[in-house]
């Protein structure tokens, strides 16, 4: 039986690229979208029976609670939570409104952490739970700026490490915070340094080799990033 992976946030960009990459490697992929994605449907048509599409919104727990009963405990080898927004365009702590702060933190940090915890039972012992983070979530590397985005990704990393220590460790599930690189997506822009394909090939290699407990913050080449 082929390995199984759940990719949360697969309608476009890196999530869609990862869906195609894992399906091409022979995995069965459960790919989620918030609203119908033509790109995801194209991918499913290109990979007969390898891609299953479900609807999930990380900010709405009712949309993913049923996945445990749908697929069953221990059914998956890996889960990738790929949800994120840039946040308010001004990216300024001084200008931040309560609603803007709540929106970016729910989408980029608390929402992904909640879905990761809720779906942890779906993973096999020794499996992998990965969160799509960013180099901008590294305190050691930070040059300031992009305050909404940076703070949300730092928060996601802290929450991911907490899941590793408190929920995943006893079942030897490895928790990853992944930096995909500066990628040519809607968020990264056309001048980014690598393509979606290059990023997703590397990310898939990292996830395939992971498992067995612990926490790591790494880039798409598997290189450690300072916390």
- The span from the CA of 126 to the CA of 169, in Å, is 9
**In terms of C-beta density within 10 A (0-12 exposed, 13-18 middle, 19 or more buried), how is residue 126 classed?**
middle
- The span from the CA of 102 to the CA of 42, in Å, is 34
Bridge-based pairing state of the strands 123-132 and 28-33? unpaired
Residue 184: what pLDDT? 75
Q: Report phi then psi at 212, rounded to 5.
A: 105, 15
Torsion of CA 3, 219, 187, 38, to 10 degrees: -10
pTM for the structure as a whole: 0.95
Decide if 225 is inside a domain: no
Decide if 208 is inside a domain: yes
Decide if 29 is inside a domain: yes
Considering Cα of 214, then 218, then 220, then 221, what sign does the dihedral take? negative
Decide if 129 is inside a domain: yes
> Whose CA is closest to 118, among 70, 176, 67, 77?
67
Residue 66: what pLDDT? 87
Q: What is the total count of domains within the chain?
A: 1
Residue 132 near residue 176 (C-beta atoms within 8 A): no
- The span from the CA of 90 to the CA of 157, in Å, is 23
Residue 88: what pLDDT? 83
- The span from the CA of 154 to the CA of 181, in Å, is 16
- The span from the CA of 58 to the CA of 81, in Å, is 9
Instruction: Find the domain containing 22 and state its range.
Output: 4-219
Decide if 224 is inside a domain: no
Decide if 59 is inside a domain: yes
Q: Give bridge partners of residue 178 from the DSSP assignment.
A: 132, 218
Domain containing residue 135: CATH number: 3.40.50.720
Mean pLDDT in runs of 10 for the chain (227 residues)? 94 95 98 94 94 93 89 95 86 91 94 96 97 94 89 97 97 97 71 85 97 95 96
Please provide the DSSP assignment of 58-100 as one string. Answer: TT-GGGTTTHHHHH-TT-EEEEEE-------TT--TTT--HHH
Decide if 226 is inside a domain: no
């Amino acid at each position: 039986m082929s390995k199984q992976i759940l990719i949360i946030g697969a309608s476009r960009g890196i999530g869609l690229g990862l869906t195609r990459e894992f399906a091409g490697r022979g995995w069965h992929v459960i790919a989620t979208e918030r609203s119908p994605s033509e790109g995801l449907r194209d991918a499913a048509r290109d990979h007969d029976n390898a891609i299953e599409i479900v609807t999930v919104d990380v900010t709405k727990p009712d949309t993913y609670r049923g996945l445990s009963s749908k697929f069953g405990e221990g059914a998956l080898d890996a889960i990738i939570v790929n949800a994120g927004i840039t946040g308010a365009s001004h990216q300024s702590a001084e200008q931040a409104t309560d609603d803007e702060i709540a929106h970016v933190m729910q989408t980029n940090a608390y929402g992904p952490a909640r879905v990761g915890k809720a779906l942890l039972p779906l993973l096999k012992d020794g499996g992998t739970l990965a969160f799509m983070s960013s180099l901008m979530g590294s305190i050691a590397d930070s040059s300031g700026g992009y305050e909404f985005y940076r703070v949300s990704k730092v928060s996601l990393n802290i929450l991911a490490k907490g899941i590793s220590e408190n929920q995943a460790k006893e079942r030897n599930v490895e928790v990853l915070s992944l930096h995909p690189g500066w990628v040519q997506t809607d968020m990264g822009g056309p001048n980014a340094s690598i393509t979606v394909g290059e990023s997703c090939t590397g990310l898939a290699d990292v996830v395939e080799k992971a498992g067995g407990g612990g926490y790591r913050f790494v880039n798409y080449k598997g290189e450690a990033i300072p916390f």
